[in-house]
Structure 1
């Protein structure tokens, strides 16, 4: 039997019941379940605003777009981001004609506050912090830098569903957070996301931008009385980025089990830690901060012979992953090549090990055994 990097677990019968309600009511699009999921997410996180989207990538784009629109940013202004992330993080900046300035990563593989501060110029408008694998890294130092330099703070929380810092869901200080509920995330649907603005005015604008700039969505118009419910205005050049009730129905079920599922992920991580504790000379797990209760979307190790090890594990039916390739290695971001030496070095040395709810201690022990055997 193969051991895959990710394998989502769904409470199938509960999900089908939620979806059945959508089908029976004849409402599968925006509204109904999407509104219910937004309310449940606000209740879970403590955030004032939450808007359900068709993907986290759409959310990142909207976060940049709306902050640029409302704060007078110009094309060519800069946002500091990480080179160790999925490319959609940095594409969202480029979509809006802004320049991605890459800062290096620290021992947690998150933004290094010291390098971030070195990269700030008079054109810097925001910092985009990625909680890689569910870690908060040195988030609190990034918050202080944003305050000191009066910069906007955007959090790519794609891996952070359920992460806590000092016992609280982090991010209430941020201008906007974007979560992912893509197929293999800790709270999986098929694909969807959530954008959480600190300010209500941005949330209102976001809702129009996700529905092509229309100032009254279909669900609101359906519930209107009278003959004018068809009448709406189009104020902005928007997008079709909103989520639908089928995805929200799945999300509502998955949210109920998020903390339980993340607790089991942390147990898997402990088993990995135990398996490697006598071999730290050649296998170095990437730690999370002491005050961070990570979602443990990823368990990452640093090794000397990453590519050879990956092939050896594949031959033993183990399929790990790499998170991520240094984005400055991509042609479109090659202007920054060489500016983040630690990120570049780690990009060639990190390996993400299988982490999903169907795994057992036997699976973890087997993976550890093979990694120990083939690591140099």
Structure 2
């Protein structure tokens, strides 16, 4: 198998016990465990609302869709975003008939405040901030810019499960925070996510919109006696985006170990930095903001001849990744060509080294040996 980029670590027996309860009760869909997981997530994060979803992708779309509808944004209005992210971040904007305006990034791999300021126009309505790799970057500077310019803030926290700043979970400042619990994320399930709105009325709307617009879900329509109340209204043309109790069962277990696992991720990053920081003239390490306790979903470096380094690592049965290709290079966003030069550089030079929880100190040294040997030769 070699050394994989990601490999989820599950508490198997505990997960199976939670899932078994679903099967014994006979309720595997929305409700039962999903309600319990939402409550646990609110307690963990301190955020006021949380709705469990089948992916963070639907959460990002719902965030833009609901804010657009509730605040009266028009088709073609703009959301400032980053080109270095998974495409679901920016597709959420495009699918809502709005325009993604790309801000450049820096060594934090996150949008810079200066670039965001330069992109604000009279049609700007919001900022989509991505905490890439679990890092904070310039988040609080962007919060201030949004407040000063009456812009809404959406926090794409797909990589940020467990990230803290000055011991606090960030996100209370945002209109919506969207988390990913996809198969290789820090809190893994097969696939699911969570959307946390600031406002309770928006939480009520997303619950309907993610159940095809129906105003009462199947769990709410089932009484204690087992009678099924079939009458309901359909208030929106919605989607089927809610999570289920099987995935929530896994999430409930993994949440108990999230801080423990993130602590080990930070240990892996420390080992990497201890070895690779001596090559600062040839390797650029991601900058982590002071005061940020990152979830460390990724450990990224920028090097010349990135593709050749990937081949050298593959030859040693080490399998890194790239996070991410510059979204501006995709045809639906190429109207922004040339607008984010550092993002273009990052897209061609960044490599994500393995961060799976089964890595040992010796594994990290082996990876660094290959990187060092390549750097010295090149």
Partner SS, residue 100 of structure 1: strand
Shift of 1:167: 1.1
- The alignment's TM-score, normalised by the length of structure 2, stands at 0.98
Aligned-residue Cα RMSD (Å) equals 1.1
Alignment correspondent of 1:66? 66
- The alignment's TM-score, normalised by the length of structure 1, stands at 0.98
Q: Deviations over 1:233-258 (max 9, x none)?
A: 00111110000000000000000000
**Whole-angstrom distance in 1 between the partners of 2:7 and 2:74:** 42
The residue correspondences of 1:21-60 to structure 2 (distance < 5 A) are 21-60=21-60
Shift of 1:226: 10
1:168 and 2:168 matched: yes
Shift of 1:224: 7.0
Contact 2:222 2:228 in 1 (8 A): no
Contact 2:175 2:198 in 1 (8 A): yes
Shift of 1:275: 1.0
Alignment correspondent of 1:199? 199
Contact 2:277 2:285 in 1 (8 A): no
Alignment correspondent of 1:88? 88
Alignment correspondent of 2:158? 158
1:278 and 2:278 matched: yes
Partner SS, residue 136 of structure 2: coil
Partner SS, residue 205 of structure 1: helix
Shift of 1:92: 0.4
Q: Deviations over 1:325-376 (max 9, x none)?
A: 0100111110001000111111111100000110000000000010011123
**Whole-angstrom distance in 2 between the partners of 1:217 and 1:338:** 47
Runs of 4+ in 1 over 3 A off after TM superposition: 224-228
Segments of structure 1 that go 5 or more residues without pairing to the other structure are none
Segments of structure 2 that go 5 or more residues without pairing to the other structure are none
Alignment correspondent of 2:217? 217
Alignment correspondent of 2:147? 147
Q: Deviations over 1:20-54 (max 9, x none)?
A: 00000000000000000000000000011000000
**Whole-angstrom distance in 2 between the partners of 1:282 and 1:219:** 57
**Whole-angstrom distance in 2 between the partners of 1:92 and 1:356:** 29
Shift of 1:278: 2.0
Shift of 1:216: 0.5
**Whole-angstrom distance in 2 between the partners of 1:118 and 1:213:** 38
**Whole-angstrom distance in 2 between the partners of 1:139 and 1:86:** 18
Partner SS, residue 232 of structure 2: coil
**Whole-angstrom distance in 2 between the partners of 1:358 and 1:308:** 26
Partner SS, residue 219 of structure 1: coil
Partner SS, residue 126 of structure 2: strand
CA pair 284-216 structure 1, distance change in 2 beyond 3 A: same
**Whole-angstrom distance in 2 between the partners of 1:219 and 1:275:** 53
The residue correspondences of 1:94-109 to structure 2 (distance < 5 A) are 94-109=94-109
**Whole-angstrom distance in 2 between the partners of 1:103 and 1:347:** 14
Alignment correspondent of 1:317? 317
Alignment correspondent of 2:128? 128
Alignment correspondent of 1:15? 15
Partner SS, residue 85 of structure 1: coil
Shift of 1:283: 1.7
Alignment correspondent of 1:339? 339
Partner SS, residue 287 of structure 1: coil
Partner SS, residue 222 of structure 2: helix
**Whole-angstrom distance in 1 between the partners of 2:277 and 2:29:** 50
Q: Deviations over 1:280-318 (max 9, x none)?
A: 221221121111000000000011110110111111101
**Count of residues in correspondence between the two structures:** 376
